[in-house]
Amino acid sequence: MSTTPRHRDARHRAAHRLAGDQGHLASRRQLYALGITRWEIRGHVRAGRWQLVGDQSVCLHNHRIDAVGHRWAAVFQGGPRACLDGVSSLLASGLARFESERVRVSVPRGARVRRNRRYDIRQTRRWSSDDLVPFGIPRTRVAVAAVCAGLWARTDREATYVVTLVVQQGLATPPEIGTELLRIRRDRRRALLHAVVNDLLDGGRALGELDVGAELRRRGLPALERQVLRRDARRRYYLDLYWPAFGVVVEIDGIHHAWAENVVGDALRQTLSPSPATLF
């Protein structure tokens, strides 16, 4: 099919507009729908203007592909019902301070899987269209992704950390995660995640707090209050662990206390905590 230069320019502008919201990537199906032929794609790739990513995606530049682009490429590689899942979905939804080696994509049981060494594409019996975010890159909702990230984590420690991090950063609440966890009937890590969510429901917001809480229960110490809200003249702050009957405060200085946004709050807690108080 012959095209005029003006028609070709219009098609390419449309392709770049589409890819601009997808990490500068477009699927072959999207490009074909715009009227760009496979021969044109091959010509741009041979000329070094575009590059192929897997066998389903085309990057409309010849530079390094960023994380957003790889997420879209993984979804395109997975097929029409593929979605980011687990940690990859959480990262796409804004999770910070966590890294994943490969992009994880879920497809329904029985779907065709196009294998690619760069992306982790797997069938799952838990796939449901009701679990998907209705906008942006296809991905599972945060609470669903948090549960899956916990189930698929390499270690129990990592599972606890990622679920806690989701709540700590305000991406999902403990009740939301707990509701999704109730859907899991059988898994070796199910009991662990239930214990983690129960601690989060009780006010825990950091890995160190959960560890200390478990040790306090094991040693039979009195019940405590977590994340108790206190206010000074200009702002509010939280106490990690507090026994009001004894006037004792325990501050858990995990790695997140070294983050810049937490330094001022820590100083306020140490200066303005209830008296008498003991800080550790």
pLDDT score of 278: 41
pLDDT score of 263: 45
DSSP 21-83: TTTTEEEHHHHHHTT--HHHHHHHHHTTSSEEETTTEEESSSS---HHHHHHHHHHHH-TT-E
Q: The pTM is what? A: 0.77
Distance CA 58, CA 16 (A): 11
pLDDT score of 213: 67
CB atoms within 10 A of CB 267: 11
pLDDT score of 250: 73
pLDDT score of 17: 96
Distance CA 220, CA 92 (A): 41
Distance CA 114, CA 28 (A): 14
**Average pLDDT for runs of 10 along the chain of length 280:** 68 95 97 96 96 96 96 96 97 93 94 89 94 97 98 95 95 96 95 92 70 70 61 61 71 54 50 45
Distance CA 128, CA 197 (A): 23
Query: Helix 207-218 to helix 190-201 angle, to the nearest 10 degrees?
Result: 100
Q: In what order do the strands lie in the sheet with 51-53?
A: 25-27, 57-59, 51-53
pLDDT score of 115: 83
Which position has the token pair 């715009």?
34
